[in-house]
Every structure is written in structure tokens, then in C-alpha cells.
Amino acid sequence: LENLAEAAPKEDLPDLPIDASATRELSIQAFADQPRVQYYVDFFTNRMHERFQVWLTRMPRYEGYARERLVAQGLPGDLVYLALIESGFSSSAVSRAAAVGIWQFMPATGRQYGLDQNFWVDSRRDVIAATDRALDYLQKLFGDFGDWQLALAAYNWGEGSVARALKANRAKG
């Protein structure tokens, strides 16, 4: 995953348009032709092809449970791909920022959602517990922001960061 952080496009790509209307569905097809999306499709099919194949090999172990839980909570099933990109479905994944597990919970967020972290156990690595808590967190973020693109940005970048960016944009407009 370290390579992904270095994969930022060299040229400045245009921002993705975001439909601010609240929806419980992901509008993946609407973004398929965007230059930024095409850049990452190329990245994962070329430079990261072998690593991505490992991720896809791990995916069947977890996808069924995660997708079933997503649908049961009324969330888009395609949110399962968040775990694919966050961790490559590796429960031992650790980010530079100390996010852990397939859903890459930060320590404070993990504790906030009841995932124990101590000398003996780190529940952020427990695929079932972390999946259930990640879905609770995603549901909360969608409730806060009313839009899946913003909820996913908040999951990755932090709720406060997205809220501040929205506030700054409102002040400009």
C-alpha cells in the first residue's frame, strides 16, 4: 500500500464532480471516464498488477460476509471495495498513520467503535468485529454528510477534515 501513496498523478488532474444530492447508492458509473479514475485503473492494472492480484485472491475470504452485512444494514454492497483499497483485505495491514486491519481503523476511531486495543489484542484485526464496526461508522458518516462520496472521503481523510473543507468551500461560494 506504500506504493499507492506515491502513485499520485504527476500532472494536476481535474477534480471529480460530486453530486451533492443525498443518495444511499454509489454512483460508480458516473466516475468511470474521469481522468483521475482512469489514472488509478491504469496504476492497478500495470504498476501494481501483481500486488493487486494478491488482494483479489484474498477478497473471497471476506467479501461474502462484508457484502451480506452491508446489505442487511441497508448500505450499498459495493462498499466492500473500500476494504480492498484500504488494506488489500489484509488483517495485518498497518498504515504509516497507525491505521490497522482490513478496514484500516485509526486507534481513536477503533476505540470509539468498541474495538479493544491492548498488549494482548487489537480488535481492529478481527475481521468480523472490525467489519461490523466499519459499517456502523460508514452509516454514521453517511448520516453526517448525506452523500457517499463525502462519507468515503471522511472515512479516509477524517470527519473533521471533510467538515472543514465543506465549510471553507461554502465560505468561498
**pLDDT tens digit sequence for 60-80:** 999 999 999 999 999 999 999
Instruction: Please pick, among 2, 63, 68, 86, the residue that the annotation labels catalytic.
Output: 86
Closest CA to 70 of 25, 116, 126: 25
What pLDDT is stored for residue 28 in this prediction? 67
pLDDT interval class at 173 (50, 70, 90): low
- In the block, residue with C-alpha cell 457517499: 148
Q: Give how far Cα 100 sits from Cα of 24, 42, 129, Å.
A: 27, 27, 13
Cα dihedral across residues 121, 122, 127, 128: positive or negative: positive
**pLDDT tens digit sequence for 20-70:** 444 456 666 777 788 888 898 899 899 999 999 999 999 999 999 999 999
CB 94 within 8 A of CB 86: no
Residue 11 annotated among the catalytic residues of the structure: no
Task: Check whether 127 has a pLDDT greater than 80.
Answer: yes
**pLDDT tens digit sequence for 132-144:** 999 999 999 999 9
Residue 73 per-residue DSSP state: T
96: number of Cβ within 10 Å: 8
pTM of this prediction? 0.80
Residue 115 Cα to chain centre, angstroms: 18
Cα angle: 45, vertex 29, 46; to 5 degrees? 5
74: number of Cβ within 10 Å: 8
